[in-house]
Structure 1
Amino acid sequence: MRRKCKDHISKLPDDVLHTIVSLLSMRDAVRTSVLSHRWKNMYAYMSNLEFNWHDIISTPADSTPGAVCNSKVRYFLARLERFLACHLGTKVVSFKVSCCFGNMYGLHINDWISFAIRKGVENLDLAFTCDKPAERIDWRIIDYYHFPTQLLLHGEESKLRHLSLRSCTLQSDFFDRFSTLSTLVLCDVNLAGHVEPHMFSSCSNLECLTLQWCFGLERLCIGDSLHRLKVLVVSLCEGLKGIELSATNLTSFHYKGDDIELSFERVPNLGELYVMMKDTDVVSTFAELEKELPHVKSMTVAKSRARYNR
């Protein structure tokens, strides 16, 4: 006679089951709903939500944005929005979406962001293309989503701590809507509007700033208002002509791109410096930086394959 197994896990308190489900992937979390009546809606309390195009849509990883058919977009939208409509949790800690479409479906995306903001999201990660900027042949086919900064809460009302945006347009007049951020990552972002060198000055709690493949910014000035900034990465930003740094707590600075003017006014805690420029004279550039920044412990200056470091 076969002994019937007892389901001890299902007897655990709701908050424990919610924690267990939160450790699973979205797909596996939804699958738990068929285990028993007790588990039917547990997935709907997940606080870390991630919707990846390639996980939901069966499509080759190298598909270009122009090759995405409307039926697949509609299917992705239906799956995501059905999940959001069923969500029962009061808090969303992390909300991540990676999809192969942009501003044509902007109203849908705006609704997702509004949902996350209402749930007190802390980590917002949005990517609106499935290609890689370095391999992109025709930039005109990219339907840049216009990120709606007006949907974010002002100042201390916001719970947002980490924001990552890829392949979208961002108006530079975000003012205090980014003031609670400790991490900001902008990749393949069109900085629009009246873009000023001090555009990030209102991000007073920023500790890590990454700008990659961004365009629209001619000069970048990091001043005293960013007194918490520790890590700055600027890579392959088209049109950038100069960077001026005056950040007392900055410990790491990485730059890669065209030859530009670098100015270090006050960086007493800078310990790691990496500079790669297209046409720079490696030896003379290294000598100048070493003289200007004698306290830097790790310094690398590179040009293509040429490199000089200490």
Structure 2
Amino acid sequence: MGTVLKKKLNNPDDRISQMPDEVLSFMLLLLPSEEAARTSILSRRWRYVWKSSAAYSSSLNLDVVAMRGSPYSYKMSKRYVENTYLLFIEQIKFIKWVDQILQLGYRPTMDSFRLRFYFKKNSADNINRWINMAISKSVKNFDIDLSHFLTLGYCLPNDEFYTFPDWLFTCETGSLVKLLCLKACIFRPLDFKFSALMDLQLDNVLIDQDCFVNFLSSCTNLEKLCLVKCWELLSLKIPGSLFKLKYLAIINCRSLEYIKIDARNLNRFEYRGYPVHFTFLNVPQLSNIIVNIAYGDSSSSEITRVLESISSQLPKLDSLMMNTFRIKEPILPSVVINLKKLVLWIDAYEDTLWGFIPLLHGSPYLHTLELH
């Protein structure tokens, strides 16, 4: 056995293992963080090498996949959801792993902080401690995803959600943040400190209606806004102060009834969800729209209302993508003068395309029609 092990260690073909740890650490820095983390399961030496490389990285990646070396299988994930004790043990293991990583002595400043696991408000002390450490490193990009097992359909009560601690930021540290990506938590900022924020992504996040509108008004450098499954929103007003906003996506916000957009540099808008009332104000650059509506019985009238808003308020629109599922009756005539590209998702088992003939007649400059 000793002879076999000695041969493996002296194997001339295994040149990577013969390299110094410092060189291997540098090599791992060139890999994406997920791939570098997978090397930690090869051996004790590689675990040490990966931790050493993490200390030199400009990103702090606290991902459960990095801890395990591979994602959870569906069967294993289901076990954790159904057995709270097993889940608690896994959370303790993750917390210990994170604390070991943070003891490595990271660089004085870092660019990104990423946290991905399943946590509720009872883990707030640990999460806040990690975020506070990231703040002390002048981190610019925060990506916090606490939804790891929610993809299985497990529904977490609202009062169990973790609250993002905006109060940990000062005006100085908050002004450094460029990206804020939150998933499966509560976001209700009372002080508006993220003046330099450029990219805001909220997924399955509980937000207060009035508080969020006031917060948006203070984000004058925002260029991208993406809201997914923000079910507390009843209406959304994009204020004119967001003059740098270029991309807006609103996806499956099921309680939303009204959207008012005033953003003069917005050029791409994506909406997926139930029918809502659109009002477009001062959007002269908006030329690309994707609309995917979950239609009810009055689907033709709903899409007619959407097209009326588009045709009357968006003179520069040249690209439109829409779904046509369950369109039985023709939509009312709509004129979209500058429309050049129309993409339709159709139901192959229904005669849905005929309902869009009036739109084709009302688009004299249309030169591209795609059917999917």
- TM-score for both structures, normalised by structure 1: 0.83
Would you say 1:205 and 2:226 are equivalent positions? no
Shift of 1:47: 1.6
Unaligned stretches of 5+ residues in structure 2: 1-9, 328-343, 345-355, 360-368
Separation in structure 2 between the aligned mates of residue 119 and residue 200 of structure 1, nearest angstrom = 26
| Cα offset, 1:142, TM superposition | 8.2
1:148-204 superposed Cα distances (whole Å, 9 cap, x missing partner) = 1111231576322111100001114341x2222111100000113744544411111
* Distance in 2 (alpha carbons) for counterparts of 1:71 and 1:12: 34
Corresponding letter in the other structure for 2:125: L
- Percent identity over the alignment is 24
1:52 and 2:73 correspond: no
Residue of structure 1 equivalent to 2:310:
289
| Residue aligning to 2:260 | 244
Structure 1 contact 244–262 (Cα < 8 Å) conserved? yes
- Which residue, out of 308, 315, 319, partners 1:298? 319
2:271, 2:291 within 8 Å by CA — same for their partners in 1? Answer: yes
> What displacement does 1:115 show?
1.0
**Is 1:138 aligned to 2:155, yes or no?**
yes
Equivalent residue runs for 1:1-310 within 5 Å: 19-20=29-30, 25-28=36-39, 34=45, 41-57=52-68, 59-61=72-74, 62-63=77-78, 65=81, 67-68=83-84, 69-132=87-150, 136=153, 138-140=155-157, 143-154=160-171, 158-175=175-192, 177-192=193-208, 194-195=210-211, 197-277=213-293, 278-279=295-296, 280=299, 281=301, 282-283=303-304, 285-302=306-323, 304=325, 306=327, 307=344
AA aligned opposite 1:298: S
Asked if structure 2 preserves the Cα contact closer than 8 Å seen for 1:18 and 1:45, the reply is no
Whether the 8 Å contact between 1:240 and 1:260 is mirrored in structure 2 is yes
Contact 1:100 1:128 in 2 (8 A): yes
Over aligned residues, Cα RMSD in angstroms? 3.6
Report the AA paired with residue 318 of structure 2.
Answer: K
Contact 2:207 2:233 in 1 (8 A): yes
Q: Using the alignment, how far apart are the partners of 1:261 and 1:298 within structure 2? A: 20
* Whole-angstrom distance in 2 between the partners of 1:8 and 1:166: 42
Higher helix share: 2
Contact persistence 2:175–2:197 (CA under 8 A): no
Corresponding residue number in structure 1 for 2:364? none
CA offsets, 1:11-33, max 9 Å, x none? 989x9679547866234379799
Change (3 A) 1:51 1:43: closer
Q: Residue 293 of structure 1 aligns to which amino acid in structure 2? A: L
The count of corresponding residues between Structure 1 and Structure 2 is 307
Higher strand share: 1
Q: Which has the larger radius of gyration?
A: 2
Q: Which has the higher contact order (CA 8 A, sep 6+)?
A: 1
Say if 1:121 and 1:160, in contact at 8 Å, map to a contact too.
Answer: yes
Q: Against the structure 1 CA distance between its residues 33 and 49, is the aligned structure 2 distance closer, same or farther, given a 3 Å change threshold?
A: farther
CA contact 1:224–1:248 (8 Å) conserved in 2: yes
Structure 1: any 5+ residue segments left out of the alignment? Answer: none
